[in-house]
Amino acid sequence: MTLAELPQVAALSVDEKIQLVNELWDSMADELNNSPVSDEEKQLLDDRWEHYQKHPETALTLEQCIALIDTHRAHIVQDQEKKLLDERWENYLACPESALTLEQFKALERARFP
């Protein structure tokens, strides 16, 4: 299944898509937690454990893992913000008369972030 096959989802805003992804993830949590581990997955875990035992210096500390995750999250947020700005710019170009005045924009921002 692709996003192109789900036009209603494709039309959602970035915030709505994030909310949908969170809801989908939550709906799968129990199923994922109770699913059996395949022989292939067990072998992968065994291989990784063996590699760690031979080369413990290649392991990351908890702090390094958190920093790496934070870096990836920051890139994701930047990508989402860029996409949102691009969408807004395209909407403006398609219909410039619908653009907000600076005063209207500030009023919306105050209402959104009191």
Rama region for 83: left / alpha / beta (φ>0; ψ in -120 to 50; rest): alpha
CA 31 to chain centre: 21
> Which of helix, strand or coil describes residue 2?
coil
Q: Sorting pLDDT into bands at 50, 70 and 90, what band is 35? A: confident
| The pLDDT of residue 54 | 95
Residue 96 pLDDT level (bands cut at 50, 70, 90):
confident
43-92, pLDDT tens digit by residue?
999 999 999 999 999 898 999 999 999 898 888 888 888 888 888 888 87
pTM of the model: 0.38
Task: List the chain domain ranges.
Answer: 31-112
